[in-house]
Amino acid sequence: MTILFCFAHPDDESFSGAGTAMRCAAAGAKTVLVTATLGERGKRGDPPVCEEADLPAVREHELRNAAAVIGFDELHLLGYRDRELADAPPEAMRRVLVSHLRRLRPAVVVTFDPNGFNAHPDHVAISRFCSEAIAAAADPRWHPDAGAPHQVRRLLWTPPVAPWDAVALDLDLAAQPGADFVIDVSAFRKRRIAALRAHRTQHLSVDRYFFDRPELDRIVDVEIWRQAWGPALATRPSRDVFDGL
Ligand SMILES: [Zn+2]
């Protein structure tokens, strides 16, 4: 089985997804990351880790380091402009994502929820493009030269409650709407932390949600996903993203 993570920026995969990817890989699945932009208009750190002109190259390097720590089998950079993803041509975006979906044939795809998790326009955009490409990939009338049709079995979204908030508020995730998958990734804690640390230019936000928090270990030990669609779950939350496939 293959699981495809489709995100907007370098570091999105380390905020949410790294633990699930490592757990799936340990169980024998192929894991692939698609990142749409280089986050080249993001922060550079305080003090700055690099010159502004070097940020795209530095962030690509950070992403490649994080992806190596996580152990993705493939990493694909789509090269769209940071903070302009919503304006990307839908036809070109659909074609590239349909090509990846038909070649990789993932059972599960993970992306941002339609509100982009934190309402970031690029997060909203990649959610929209990814959802549309999944539907198109299953229909042979779309891009017939881009491979044989493929039906994704399950689409997962980022959750309505972030792990750092769930831990801080001591929420009962079993009772939280949208916490459809609660994945124990504690076995991969050290590597999860290393992947977050790889994004050195993003240390301000990484510190804010992870390393400045006394509950760091509990935060990095869990990942939460919402099922957009897929086979009905016998119990919520499920503990396995391939549950029922
Ligand atoms: Zn992002």
Is 239 a member of any domain? no
Q: What is the pLDDT of residues 117-162, one digit of tens each?
A: 999 999 999 999 999 999 999 999 999 999 999 999 999 999 999 9
Q: How far is the centre of ligand 1, averaged over its atoms, from the C-alpha of 6 (Å)? A: 11
Q: How far is the centre of ligand 1, averaged over its atoms, from the C-alpha of 27 (Å)? A: 27
pLDDT for res 225:
98
Give residues with Cβ within 8 angstroms of 243, minimum separation 6: 181, 231, 233, 234
Per-residue HEC secondary structure of the chain comes to CEEEEEECCCCHHHHCCHHHHHHHHHCCCEEEEEEEECCCCCCCCCCCCCCHHHHHHHHHHHHHHHHHHHCCCEEEEEEECCCCHHHCCHHHHHHHHHHHHHHHCCCEEEECCCCHHHHCHHHHHHHHHHHHHHHHHCCCCCCHHHCCCCCCCEEEECCCCCHHHHHHCCCCHHHCCCCCEEEECHHHHHHHHHHHHHCHHHHHHHHHHHHCCCCHHHHHCEEEEEEEECCCCCCCCECCCCCCC
Is 244 a member of any domain? no
Percent of the chain surpassing pLDDT 70: 100
Is 206 a member of any domain? yes
pLDDT for res 181:
98
Q: How far is the centre of ligand 1, averaged over its atoms, from the C-alpha of 105 (Å)? A: 25
Q: What is the pLDDT of residues 21-37, one digit of tens each?
A: 999 999 999 999 999 99
- Range of the structural domain that residue 14 is part of: 2-229
Is 67 a member of any domain? yes
**Which pTM value belongs to this model?**
0.98
Is 242 a member of any domain? no
Q: How far is the centre of ligand 1, averaged over its atoms, from the C-alpha of 82 (Å)? A: 9
Is 237 a member of any domain? no
Q: How far is the centre of ligand 1, averaged over its atoms, from the C-alpha of 148 (Å)? A: 31
User: Average pLDDT of 107-125?
Assistant: 98
49, 42 Cβ separation under 8 angstroms: no
Q: How far is the centre of ligand 1, averaged over its atoms, from the C-alpha of 37 (Å)? A: 9
Q: How far is the centre of ligand 1, averaged over its atoms, from the C-alpha of 8 (Å)? A: 5
CA distance 145 to 179: 38
Q: How far is the centre of ligand 1, averaged over its atoms, from the C-alpha of 123 (Å)? A: 6
pLDDT for res 233:
97
Q: What is the pLDDT of residues 51-97, one digit of tens each?
A: 999 999 999 999 999 999 999 999 999 999 999 999 999 999 999 99
Is 197 a member of any domain? yes
| Number of domains within the chain | 1
Q: What is the CATH number of the domain that holds 215?
A: 3.40.50.10320
Is 28 a member of any domain? yes
Q: How far is the centre of ligand 1, averaged over its atoms, from the C-alpha of 206 (Å)? A: 12
Q: How far is the centre of ligand 1, averaged over its atoms, from the C-alpha of 180 (Å)? A: 22
